[in-house]
Amino acid sequence: MGRGKYSSEQILAILKEQEAGTPVADLCRTYGMHQETFYAWKRKYTGMQGGDVQKLRQLAEENARLKKVVANMALEIDALKDALEKNS
């Protein structure tokens, strides 16, 4: 999945604008996004601060890296099992 048009910090700023009283329709028109996108952001980022967003990003990157490690290990295990079966 590719990176979006807005950084996490920009998303938080947009959400704060809405909390300050700017209507969602005006925000969506101004920033060129769909209302569903705004509400998805609101579900994901409500209650977060700038540092929390960076931690979330780091955890997501680490999670992706660990998934790759597990997938590689599973492939190696399968290859070793196949080699053992051929030698037996």
Break the chain into its structural domains and give their ranges. 1-48, 50-88
Distance CA(54)–CA(41), nearest Å, equals 15
* Res 1 pLDDT > 50: no
pLDDT in tens, 36-54: 999 999 998 887 777 788 8
Distance CA(72)–CA(16), nearest Å, equals 42
Instruction: Count how many Cα atoms sit within 13 Å of the Cα of residue 50 in the half-sphere of its side chain.
Output: 3
| Residue 2, both tokens | 């590719």
pLDDT in tens, 17-31: 999 999 999 999 999
* Res 88 pLDDT > 90: no
Q: Domain 1-48: which topology?
A: Arc Repressor Mutant, subunit A (1.10.10)
* Res 16 pLDDT > 50: yes
